[in-house]
């Protein structure tokens, strides 16, 4: 069996090099203007390359004086299965620290990843950032 390489077609190959610089810059932690709350914007892609900075920011928010931490996934188009599974562990760790970790989702791709790993039932549904960042009424 012979292998034939046609160099004319090599220019059509696309290599995945991780998120672009603007996409990486979208990962940020911000104060929504409500006392005791932080919002972590996940950006458009949460893949293996972005896992360390994502969980570093999440850990920083959980171990601050916040009572509520919202992970905003509304603009996220790709959520890796590994990160989806680790969000379940992060929910348990946050709960042990007295922090309510909440998800704000928007896309089917994100919901599917959360469903596949079985962590979606751990998180309530919220319609807006205002609703997700409000303190729980007991």
Minimal CA–CA distance to 39: which of 120, 83, 103? 103
d(CA 49, CA 72) in angstroms, rounded, equals 19
Give the pLDDT score at 49: 92
Give the pLDDT score at 25: 47
Give the pLDDT score at 16: 45
d(CA 37, CA 130) in angstroms, rounded, equals 11
Which two tokens mark 66? 């916040």
d(CA 131, CA 111) in angstroms, rounded, equals 19
Site of tokens 């969980």 = 55
Site of tokens 């171990």 = 63
- Helix (H, G, I), strand (E, B), or coil: what is residue 120? helix
Site of tokens 């069996």 = 1
Give the pLDDT score at 22: 56
Give the pLDDT score at 123: 95
Can you name the residues that pair with 91 across neighbouring β-strands? none
pTM above 0.85, yes or no: no
Q: Judging by beta carbons within 10 Å of its beta carbon (0-12, 13-18, 19+), is residue 26 exposed, middle or buried?
A: middle
Other Cβ atoms within 10 Å of 63 Cβ, number = 13
**pLDDT tens, position by position, for the chain (138 residues)?**
455 455 554 444 444 445 555 554 478 888 888 888 999 999 999 999 999 999 999 999 999 889 999 999 999 999 999 999 999 999 999 999 999 999 999 889 999 999 999 999 999 999 899 999 888 765
**Contact present, 81 and 51 (Cβ < 8 Å):** no
């Amino acid at each position: 069996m012979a292998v034939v390489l046609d160099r004319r077609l090599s220019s059509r190959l696309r290599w995945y090099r991780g998120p672009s610089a603007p996409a990486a810059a979208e990962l940020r932690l911000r104060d929504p203007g409500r006392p005791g709350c932080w919002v972590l914007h996940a950006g458009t892609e949460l893949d293996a390359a972005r896992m360390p900075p994502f969980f570093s920011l999440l850990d920083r928010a959980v171990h601050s004086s916040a009572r509520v931490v919202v992970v905003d996934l509304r603009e996220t188009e790709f959520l890796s299965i590994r990160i989806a599974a680790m969000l379940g562990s992060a929910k348990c760790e946050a709960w042990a620290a007295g922090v309510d970790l909440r998800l704000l989702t928007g896309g089917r791709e994100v919901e599917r990843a959360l469903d596949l790993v079985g962590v979606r039932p751990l998180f309530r549904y919220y319609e807006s950032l205002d609703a997700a960042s409000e303190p729980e009424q007991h």
